[in-house]
């Protein structure tokens, strides 16, 4: 049991016992009724003391489809951790370096989404296809690597993996650019406005 959950349970139980003792013995109410009130106190306290789930600083219950977005983000983080584990086992130096680049981009995407959870829905393709595909390819590559085989087919799979990972990294970067499109457009607009202002004021 997690510490926070244990604390909620202990608090709810303590208040329930207090209500049972007060109502049942101090006020001499029927014990069955005191028991019902104690159970209600326990349930109410346990629910009210539950901390709301959050994505970054935003409460999940304040996001449209927040629970589903939270699940998507957790699954994406699990995929990223699996990719990190695979990267530590890759023997091919160039491939390992390229996977580190991919991981860096993926981590920046997840950090951005954690700070901007309203954009998570726009990253479904990244989550469901690109990130999951990267995990699958790398885990299978590690499985082949561990086999110790060096047949023509194995060498072909190795070369195809080395070839495709940079393309995956580029796909991650495109997805990140798409997610940040609003910010990029806003910056471009600010620059154009500044240039117009400078020109009107006689600047260069």
Per-residue pLDDT tens, the chain, 204 aa: give them.
Answer: 444 555 556 655 665 566 556 555 655 656 666 566 656 665 555 444 456 566 666 576 566 666 777 888 889 999 999 999 999 999 999 999 999 999 999 999 999 998 888 888 888 889 989 999 999 999 999 999 999 998 999 999 999 999 999 999 999 999 999 988 877 777 888 898 888 888 888 755
Dihedrals φ, ψ of 54, to 5°? -135, 155
- Are 109 and 126 in contact by the 8 Å Cβ rule? The answer is yes
Give the CATH number for residue 83: 1.20.930
Q: Is residue 100 part of a domain?
A: yes
Q: Is residue 103 part of a domain?
A: yes
So what's the pLDDT on residue 63? 60
Residues 13 and 72 in one domain: no
Residues 23 and 76 in one domain: no
Q: Is residue 202 part of a domain?
A: no
So what's the pLDDT on residue 45? 55
Q: Is residue 197 part of a domain?
A: no
So what's the pLDDT on residue 49? 46
Residues 82 and 126 in one domain: yes
When computed from its CA atoms, the radius of gyration of the chain, rounded to whole angstroms, is 27
30/159 Cα distance (integer angstroms) = 78
Residues 36 and 86 in one domain: no
- The whole domain housing 155 covers 67-192
Is the pTM of the predicted complex or chain greater than 0.85?
Answer: no
Residue bearing tokens 């086999």: 147
169/164 Cα distance (integer angstroms) = 9
The number of distinct structural domains making up the chain is 2
So what's the pLDDT on residue 14? 63
């Amino acid at each position: 049991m997690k510490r926070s959950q244990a604390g909620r349970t202990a608090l709810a139980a303590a208040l329930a016992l207090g209500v049972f003792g007060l109502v049942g013995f101090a006020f001499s109410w029927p014990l069955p009724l005191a028991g019902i009130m104690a159970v209600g106190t326990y349930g109410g306290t346990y629910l009210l003391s539950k901390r709301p789930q959050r994505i970054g600083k935003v409460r999940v219950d304040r996001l449209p489809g927040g629970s589903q977005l939270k699940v998507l983000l957790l699954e994406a983080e699990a995929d990223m951790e699996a990719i990190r584990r695979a990267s530590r086992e890759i023997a091919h130096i160039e491939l390992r370096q390229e996977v580190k680049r991919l991981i860096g981009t993926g981590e920046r995407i997840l950090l951005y989404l954690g700070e901007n959870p309203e954009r998570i829905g726009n990253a479904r393709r990244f989550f469901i296809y690109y990130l999951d595909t990267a995990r699958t390819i790398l885990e299978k590559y590690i499985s082949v690597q561990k086999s110790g085989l060096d047949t023509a087919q194995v060498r072909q799979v190795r070369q195809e993996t080395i070839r495709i990972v940079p393309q995956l990294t580029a796909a991650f970067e495109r997805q990140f650019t798409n997610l940040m499109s609003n910010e990029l457009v806003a910056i471009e607009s600010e620059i154009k406005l500044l240039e117009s202002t400078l020109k009107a004021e006689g600047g260069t």
